[in-house]
Structure 1
Amino acid sequence: MWGYSPALDLLEEITLLSPKSPGEDGRKQLNILLIGNCDGRHIFKTLAQLQRLGADDVAVTFYVIEKSLEPVARQMLLLTLALEPADILGLQEKTILFLEVYGNTIIRPTSYNYIIQKAHQLIHMVTDFDYLAARMPIINIENLKYKERDALETIFKFWISTKASQLNTEFLWDSRLRRSLTNRYDSKLGVFDWDYHMKLCKAGQESISHAEYNKWRLKGIAFSWHDRVLSKSNYTLISGIQKVNGEIVSFGYTGDIENGPFATYGLTKDIGDGKRKIQNPRKCTTACLKEVMTMLSCIIRSTESVVIPDGNELEGTVLADDLQQNLCSLTDKSEDFQAEESARKIFDKETYSAAPLGPVKVVYLPLLFQSDIHLRDKFRNVFDAIVISHNSIDSLNSNLIKTAKSNSIIVVETLNFVLPPQKGFHEAFVEKIEKLANDSNCKPIQLLDGEEDFYRRFEVVTE
């Protein structure tokens, strides 16, 4: 459900090779293919840089291929959240909402209610393309097959169903933990301590505190906010959602229980406490708050100042008045009138549009395109950059290279942040990447200062 490497500014990646020539309308036309990256982090990071630079002369289209539709559904939700106008959702609360939905198995009631509200809107979007174009013009799902659009609708319906409300992610997490640790379950704190000190820290990830890592391994909570109560299950992390004999079922939580969602926004060089940073129990949370708040502020070109809140300020953050009233009215309804009014607001289509972004599109492609996108003529020699996740490296082959422009860049995620099951695992994985790239006639791009820890980069070479 998340990557194991930092979010990339793909405009910067593309300029590693050469600037692209403007299109017929005077804009630089950039096409970027993302394969199996799950969480959309590269989209958000690139959008933030586009907006920060005011680069309205750059037209960027992200083409996204995933292995399943649950990541597509989560990306649509997170895009909707990120592009909420400032008068609808404040920057500070938006950041906290983003991080909770992104990386916590247990969330606040406010975050849970936000998911419920937006699930209704996302159902409207996937069933009404005119509404999608008006409410979220950045998203394009027209290339998806009919059955895939139906599957997306099923996922959104699951989020708001009684079937989902009966799931207990704490129980699901503990069950996974018991199966994973077997006879070591009773000494799990010792296992977590060993993994942290002997694996995570040795991999250079001291930016995550021991307390944060332990809390993640125990309960699946990566980000917490002091006295804020986390009491609701995050159903957006549930996998295998499908309709069987008219009933929506799922596989439960089948995601990561070892590494956590820290790498994408928390592994920054400046996490700042000097020698005391190792003693800070919330240092990765603070780093993520800073990174995500800055990113979301840039995306909507917010005029709010980016100030990382302390504990007391976090307790005081609220949604904008209208939205807060809608969310709170979803629970503890004491009067029929309140319930009817709430239902009308939640179920009806929202009448506002997402924050404007300029010439940017996120196009979701069918799942089967991961293996046969090269068979579509319209994707021959199209992409300026291709980003491949660690679990999709088999996509890197001579067929995929047919979709790339000459001298385009290929970025492949390594597993250097993943806790290795055995010695030499990381090295063997990198060797596999380099062999696949070499067989595909791609030339390595060498960077300085260890910047290749999380990625390997290659240039497409045409004969």
Structure 2
Amino acid sequence: MSGSCGGTRMAFYVLENNLEAVARHMLIFSLALEEPEKMGLQERSETFLEVWGNALLRPQVAAFVRAQADRLARLVPEPHRLAEQLPWLSLSALKFRERDALEAVFRFWAGGEKGPEVFPMSRLWDSRLRHYLGSRYDARRGVSDWDLHMKLHDRGARVIHTREFRRWRDTGVAFELRDSSAYHVPNRTLASGRLLSHHGERVAARGYWGDVATGPFVAFGIEADDESLLRTSNGQPVKTASEITQHNVTELFREVAAWGRPTANHGTPEQVHGEGPGTAPSPEFTVHFLPLGSAQTLHHKSCYEGRFQLLYVACGMVHLLSPDLGACVAPGGHLIVELARYLVDLRQEQLQGFSARVGELARAAGFTPQNQDRPSETFARFYKSGDSACLRSHAAVQSTTPPPGALVPPSVQPATPPPDALVPPLEARNPPPEGLTQPSEGKTPPSERLKLPSESRASLSEVQAPSGFLCAVACESLGHTWILK
């Protein structure tokens, strides 16, 4: 992120489509902002990699998750204590039932339901992989190699090593920082809920419906500022994606620690550290979590209209991009949309169709494509010109937002039940017992443009994690623009 606000605080507004993802954000932020005296930089980086990218954890990392989850479960229902101990976090926009469900998620992570049988991750992972591969399951090693070499490598992720990708596909462990036998505790933060139909009745079930196709390596592990990490020898990368990921995450956490450290320019010690005991230092940013499904109603509130300088939309939330959402971005603001480049089940023509549709939606929302010498295949970048506001009503008439299935893979369609249906206890069921199937009502058929290759029996909703991500950045001074790099 680049820009200068001359000491002005930044506000990040995050919209997800399920509360488990909100809980993971809170856990990861609390880890990233942990005091150096309590957890060193290397330990913090390794803990992040395991919680974020591994299906199985080491016992000490699992103990950290339980402790943090117990702490967050106690803070969520008490706004005053939450503001004192986590001043960077705001849940004030969430509905009461969403906060109750969020507390229940943390209680489950904290071990309110004892025993690995409550969330048997290894069995759930294998079951999901079987469902995704279908008849190709017995040839899963060959399928894994094909997806890696013929798809991910061809799309720029050449540093991902065959061995680490196979290990992740088989076990869900992407980052093996210690001996393989040390990873045996289920990562409960990857659990999510769904409403399933059982004998004509809807029941809530907990399981794993996340990614088993692409892997977490593409997020931090295929690019680096240090060119030596990308060096090759005899045509093969010297470093693996796991090693590059660990380096990048460590440097990121180092910058976060330096950025958040109080300095003389940030006020007096009393202003920085607070007047009372136990008060956390005042951060330079605040993360606000918005209610689920509120993207199309934000513009109705004057506090959001024309406020944001940057809008980031993940590929799983593209269907929310509309003139109403565009009205929340200030003139001169920027829009960044993640493209579907690394979804291995999409062919090249499908990727091109997705990118074209993103451009159509962005223009209908009042944005103009940025001129780039070398357009990115990973992100589409736009800006909002000063006269976009007067064109909004015309764009709303000319272009309506089609249903999610017509824009993006079915994975972006909400797969999580309403918050009040996610309160534990929920029985882990994956695959569902005999006669237990997902309800068919309310489904939007996927677009022909984004139909999966015929050789895959699973839909992308069975490949991608049931979550999306939409983030808007606001700066107290509207005279500055923040650009995500």
* TM bucket normalised to smaller: 0.7 to 0.9
**1:312 match:** none
Identity of counterpart residues, as a percentage? 30
What are the superposed Cα offsets for residues 32-58 of structure 1, whole Å, 9 maximum, x if unpaired? xxxxxxxxxxxxxxxxxxxxxxxx713
Query: Once the 2 structures are TM-superposed, how far is the Cα of residue 164 of structure 1 from its aligned partner?
Result: 6.6
Amino acid at match of 1:418: L
- Give 1:283's match in structure 2, choosing from 215, 240, 244: 240
**1:262 match:** 217
Quick check: 1:297 aligned with 2:254?
yes
Amino acid at match of 1:239: S
What are the superposed Cα offsets for residues 349-399 of structure 1, whole Å, 9 maximum, x if unpaired? xx9566x46331001111121222112222111111111110111221111
Question: In 2, are the aligned partners of 1:265 and 1:292 still within 8 Å (CA)?
Answer: yes
Separation in structure 2 between the aligned mates of residue 207 and residue 256 of structure 1, nearest angstrom: 20
SS at match of 1:62: strand
Separation in structure 1 between the aligned mates of residue 295 and residue 89 of structure 2, nearest angstrom: 19
Question: In 2, are the aligned partners of 1:300 and 1:357 still within 8 Å (CA)?
Answer: no
| CA RMSD after TM alignment | 2.4
SS at match of 1:369: coil
Query: Once the 2 structures are TM-superposed, how far is the Cα of residue 175 of structure 1 from its aligned partner?
Result: 0.2
- Give 2:192's match in structure 1, choosing from 236, 239, 253: 239
TM-score normalised per structure 2: 0.70
**2:472 match:** none
4+ runs of 1 displaced by more than 4 Å?
A: 277-282, 351-354
Unaligned runs of 5+ in 1: 1-8, 13-18, 20-27, 29-55, 243-247, 304-350
Quick check: 1:100 aligned with 2:50?
yes
**1:157 match:** 107
Amino acid at match of 1:276: S
Q: How does 1:123-138 map to 2 (within 5 A)?
A: 123-138=73-88
Unaligned runs of 5+ in 2: 196-202, 261-276, 391-485
Query: Once the 2 structures are TM-superposed, how far is the Cα of residue 273 of structure 1 from its aligned partner?
Result: 5.7
Separation in structure 2 between the aligned mates of residue 125 and residue 277 of structure 1, nearest angstrom: 54
Separation in structure 1 between the aligned mates of residue 254 and residue 191 of structure 2, nearest angstrom: 29
- What is the count of residue pairs matched by the alignment? 360
Normalized per residue, the structure richer in helix is 1
**1:191 match:** 143
How has the CA–CA distance of structure 1 residues 406 and 417 changed in structure 2, closer, same or farther, with 3 Å as cutoff? same
Query: Once the 2 structures are TM-superposed, how far is the Cα of residue 272 of structure 1 from its aligned partner?
Result: 2.1
Question: In 1, are the aligned partners of 2:369 and 2:383 still within 8 Å (CA)?
Answer: yes
Question: In 2, are the aligned partners of 1:158 and 1:164 still within 8 Å (CA)?
Answer: no
Quick check: 1:79 aligned with 2:39?
no
Separation in structure 2 between the aligned mates of residue 201 and residue 99 of structure 1, nearest angstrom: 22
Query: Once the 2 structures are TM-superposed, how far is the Cα of residue 163 of structure 1 from its aligned partner?
Result: 5.6
Quick check: 1:459 aligned with 2:370?
no
**1:310 match:** none
Which segment drifts farther, 222-231 or 289-298? 222-231
Amino acid at match of 1:156: F
SS at match of 2:332: strand
TM-score normalised per structure 1: 0.73
**2:171 match:** 219
Separation in structure 1 between the aligned mates of residue 36 and residue 233 of structure 2, nearest angstrom: 36
Q: How does 1:3-402 map to 2 (within 5 A)?
A: 9=1, 11=2, 28=5, 57-159=7-109, 160-162=111-113, 165-166=116-117, 167-227=119-179, 229-240=182-193, 250-269=205-224, 270=227, 272=229, 274-276=231-233, 279=236, 283-301=240-258, 356=281, 358-402=283-327
**1:40 match:** none
What are the superposed Cα offsets for residues 67-88 of structure 1, whole Å, 9 maximum, x if unpaired? 1111110011011111111110
Separation in structure 1 between the aligned mates of residue 237 and residue 57 of structure 2, nearest angstrom: 23
